[in-house]
Amino acid sequence: MIHQHEFPILEFDDNPLAVIMPNHEGLNIQLPKKCVFAFLEDEIECYAKKVEAKRVGEFVSATKNYPVFVINYKGEPICLAQAPVGAAAAAQFLDWLIGYGVSKIISTGTCGSLIDIEENAFLIPTRALRDEGTSYHYAAPSRYMDVNPKAIRTIIKVLQDKEIPFQRVMTWSTDGFYRETISKVKYRIKEGCAVVEMECAALAAVAQLRKVLWGELLFTADSLAELDHYDSRNWGVKAFEQALKICLEIASEM
């Protein structure tokens, strides 16, 4: 049922069925339950080539086609896919993956630090402030979207087992990369947000609607902590390979 509102973005329809469903193409593929869906530039494809992963399909978008791989990791199949940046694109791809069989997903990628956090630090978002549009199509309006506690526990276990330091954080998910104004940054920090990215709220909402398990491991890239000086640093590239390896372990434990 649609809940009407003066502002269209707040008109949520709780019916999980739509005119166009994620598996509407009827492709003859059945993906593994476990998946690493990561914002890691070309790291996914490089790793897939290195381990001779099987390319089992592709997600076709107007921008490009995203390959989907399956590897054998510790005796079980795990799906690998490069996530596109931005809530709408990432949510569409994730929904498609779920439509073809994925049900336990770990994502990873960079975030901007709003407070003083060193580059390449690993963080676990437990809650996302919904300042993007996509999540409102998958979950009823609210200020925050919580990440599944079961996924959080699995991420924590793997990081602790590997003795990798981490922090739990609330993240600010926004569509407006160039609209992170000084006033907004101060407001988000005051509200408790430690980092900013673009997809967490949306992906958590997709998982909630589709009743699948999803969690995320973030790592710091650029910094907005000094409001009078934006620091891109080195975009967290040193953590890419390690983040992928950690996520394979997390997926295995899910």
Q: Give the tens place of pLDDT for each residue, 49-95.
A: 999 999 999 999 999 999 999 999 999 999 999 999 999 999 999 99
Helix (H/G/I), strand (E/B), else coil: 11 = coil
* Cβ-contact 135, 95 below 8 angstroms: no
Write out the H or E segment, with its range, that includes residue 59.
strand 54-60
Q: Quick one: tokens of 134?
A: 């996509």
Condensed to tens digits (0 to 9), the pLDDT of residues 142-154 reads: 999 999 999 999 9
Name the DSSP letter for residue 115: S
Q: Give 124's pLDDT tier (boundaries 50, 70, 90).
A: very high
pTM for this structure? 0.97
φ and ψ at residue 240, rounded to 5 degrees: -55, -55
For the chain, what is the mean pLDDT? 97
**Mean pLDDT to the nearest integer, 218-224:** 98
Which residue type does 160 have?
Answer: Q
pLDDT of residue 154: 98
Q: CB neighbours of 244 closer than 8 A, spacing ≥ 6?
A: 36, 38, 40, 43, 44, 47, 108
Q: Give 3's pLDDT tier (boundaries 50, 70, 90).
A: confident
Q: CB neighbours of 167 closer than 8 A, spacing ≥ 6?
A: 117, 121, 122, 123, 124, 194
Q: Give 44's pLDDT tier (boundaries 50, 70, 90).
A: very high
Q: Quick one: tokens of 161?
A: 């087992």
* Cβ-contact 224, 174 below 8 angstroms: no
Task: Quote the CA–CA distance of 249 and 181 in Å, as a whole number.
Answer: 37
Task: Quote the CA–CA distance of 192 and 187 in Å, as a whole number.
Answer: 9
First to last CA, the chain: 33
Give burial (CB, 10 Å; 0-12/13-18/19+) of 161.
exposed
pLDDT of residue 4: 87
